[in-house]
């Protein structure tokens, strides 16, 4: 059972929506089959109805629009085979309805033929070109084939046409909804990737602005010192090299400051960044408590917990809600809809090492519905 629940939680929201939509369609087909089976009165009609129902269910499962994983391998021969099977069932039923003399046989033929037409409206017609013309032709043909009189044939055709319009229309609307969900899912991933790229560009820009000028000055003064040395002005050459040394030390200090500012992250800033990043992937961050309750000696490691925990949520879950709790004795970060267990996440190992260095501990709890990071420390 846990294997199935893990598989379900590992699916993205879009994949879950696709799967539930496909199962809804297949469930509707099975419902129609069950109703028609209750109306079957002869031994030959029940197996025919069951075969037609199974064929239609498989045809829906093979449609690319309802694939659980977009672009996955599907059996392309299934929809044409379903169309041929349902058409043959409809044609045989129409022939029996016209040629049979027993009333019970005629009634069963009408049930089987009507079911074939309905199943075609569910599993075949919505996914072909010129679907509306095909629907109109099938409705008129069904009315003429199974109507007992011109008036009843017209009424039967109208009923099938109205039913088909509703079914095909709902299917088209559902397919449109699936494509919108896919686009939103892709947009969330792209937005998260753009935020990471933007942060990298910011750091590269800061690095260039801070140390680029110093390195340029070092290069120029080094060339000048070489020229002075070759011309015999050793005193000025030595003075220029002293300035090069000072510039190098100054540039190294500026680089350390820049890297320290990038790595020694701020807790409040990380909370704000986590809220922005999680919002970009459709997850709401709820903050309980205040960063002021965290002791100063734990601020940096708490910020790393927020950063690593947020990264885990983005990469290893389809979370819709995450809760960050901050307190004087520790903190926690939990989210719903995790993808599987903890696995071998190097980020968590590194985080545990950071916490151990300041005397704090990390506890990880993973269930099918929730993933929890709990950190405990003692304020002194």
Domain CATH code at residue 240: 1.20.5
Q: Are residues 323 and 358 in the same domain?
A: yes
Q: What is the SS3 assignment for 251? A: helix
* Position 147 pLDDT exceeds 80: yes
Mean pLDDT, residues 158-168 taken together:
90
Out of 154, 186, 218, pick the residue that ends a domain: 186
Q: Are 150 and 22 contained in the same domain?
A: yes
Query: Does the pLDDT at position 18 exceed 60?
Result: yes
Identify the pLDDT of residue 324.
Answer: 94
Q: Report CA Rg, the chain.
A: 35
243 and 323 assigned to the same domain = no
Give the DSSP H or E segment for 322: strand 321-326
Q: Using one digit for the tens of pLDDT, what is the confidence trace for 169-205?
A: 888 888 888 788 878 877 877 877 787 777 777 677 6
pLDDT on residue 373:
92
Tell me what the mean pLDDT of segment 202-222 comes to: 69
- Residue 372: the pLDDT is 92
The pLDDT, as a whole number, for residue 186 is 79
Residue 93 domain boundaries: 2-186
Question: 247: burial class by Cβ within 10 Å (0-12, 13-18, 19+)?
Answer: buried
Residues 29, 140 within the same domain: yes
| Pairing status of strand 330-336 against strand 361-366 | unpaired
Task: Answer yes or no: are the C-beta atoms of 136 and 121 closer than 8 Å.
Answer: no
pLDDT band at 325 (very low <50, low <70, confident <90, very high): very high
pLDDT at position 68 is 58
110 versus 70: the higher-pLDDT residue is 110
User: Which of 53-67, 80-94, 182-196, 322-336 is most confident?
Assistant: 322-336
Residues 6 or more apart in contact with residue 351 via CB below 8 angstroms: 304, 305, 308, 362
- Same-domain check for residues 163 and 26: yes
CATH of the domain at 345: 3.30.565.10
Residues 9 and 85 in one domain: yes
Same-domain pairing of 101 and 218 = no
Shared domain for 259 and 305, answered yes or no, is: no
Q: Please tell me the predicted confidence (pLDDT) of residue 73.
A: 44
Of 186, 220, 238, the one marking the end of a domain is 186
Domain count, the chain: 3
* Candidate from 52-56, 261-265, 313-317 with smallest mean pLDDT: 261-265
Count of positions (residues) in the chain: 380
Tell me the average pLDDT across 306-315.
82
Together in a domain, 75 and 157: yes
**In the predicted model, what is the mean pLDDT of the chain?**
80
At residue 212, the pLDDT reads 67
Q: Examine the fold and report which residue of 162, 186, 210 is the final residue of a domain before the chain moves on.
A: 186
Asked if the model's pLDDT at residue 331 lies above 90, the reply is yes
- Give percent of the chain with pLDDT exceeding 90: 11
Q: What is the pTM of this model?
A: 0.52
| Same-domain pairing of 172 and 281 | no
Q: Where are the alpha helices (DSSP H) in 41-149?
A: 45-61, 78-99, 103-123, 131-146
Are residues 295 and 249 both part of a single domain?
no
pLDDT class of 72 with cuts at 50, 70, 90: very low
Percent of the chain with pLDDT over 70: 85
- Looking at the fold, whether 219 and 272 belong to one and the same domain comes out as no
- Is the pLDDT higher at 291 or at 215? 291
State how far the Cα of 39 lies from the Cα of 96, in Å rounded to an integer. 17
Instruction: Using alpha carbons, select from 219, 208, 281, 271 the residue that is nearest to residue 244.
Output: 219
């Amino acid at each position: 059972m846990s294997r199935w629940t893990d598989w379900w939680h590992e699916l993205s929201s879009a994949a879950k929506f696709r799967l539930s939509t496909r199962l809804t369609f297949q469930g509707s087909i099975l419902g129609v089959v069950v109703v028609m089976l209750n109306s079957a009165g002869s031994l030959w009609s029940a197996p025919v109805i069951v075969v037609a129902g199974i064929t239609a269910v498989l045809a829906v499962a093979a449609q690319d629009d309802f694939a659980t994983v977009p672009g996955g391998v599907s059996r392309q021969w299934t929809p044409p085979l379903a169309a041929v099977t349902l058409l043959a069932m409809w044609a045989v039923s129409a022939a029996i309805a016209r040629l049979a003399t027993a009333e019970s046989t005629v009634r069963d033929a009408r049930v089987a033929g009507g079911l074939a037409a309905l199943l075609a409206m569910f599993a075949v017609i919505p996914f072909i070109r010129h679907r509306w013309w095909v629907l109109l032709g099938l409705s008129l043909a069904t009315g003429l084939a199974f109507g007992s009189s011109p008036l009843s044939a017209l009424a039967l055709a109208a009923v099938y046409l109205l039913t088909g319009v509703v079914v095909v229309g709902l299917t088209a609307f559902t397919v449109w909804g699936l494509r919108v969900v896919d686009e939103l899912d892709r947009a969330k991933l792209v937005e998260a990737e753009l935020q990471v790229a933007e942060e990298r560009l910011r750091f590269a820009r800061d690095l260039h602005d801070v140390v680029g000028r110093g390195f340029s000055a070092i290069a120029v003064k080094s060339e000048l010192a070489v020229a002075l040395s070759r011309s015999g002005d050793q005193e000025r050459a030595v003075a220029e090299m002293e300035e090069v040394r000072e510039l190098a030390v100054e540039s190294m200090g500026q680089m350390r400051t820049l890297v320290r500012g990038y790595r020694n992250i701020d807790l409040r800033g990380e909370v704000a960044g986590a809220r922005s990043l999680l919002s970009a992937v459709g997850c709401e961050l709820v903050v309980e408590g205040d960063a002021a309750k965290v002791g100063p000696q734990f601020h940096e490691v708490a910020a790393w917990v927020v950063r690593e925990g947020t990264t885990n949520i983005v990469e290893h879950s389809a979370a819709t809600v995450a809760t960050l709790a901050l307190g004087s004795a520790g903190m926690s970060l939990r989210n719903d809809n995790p993808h599987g267990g903890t696995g071998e996440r190097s980020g968590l190992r590194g985080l545990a090492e950071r916490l151990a260095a300041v005397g704090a501990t990390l506890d990880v709890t993973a269930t099918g519905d929730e993933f929890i990071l709990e950190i405990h420390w003692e304020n002194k």
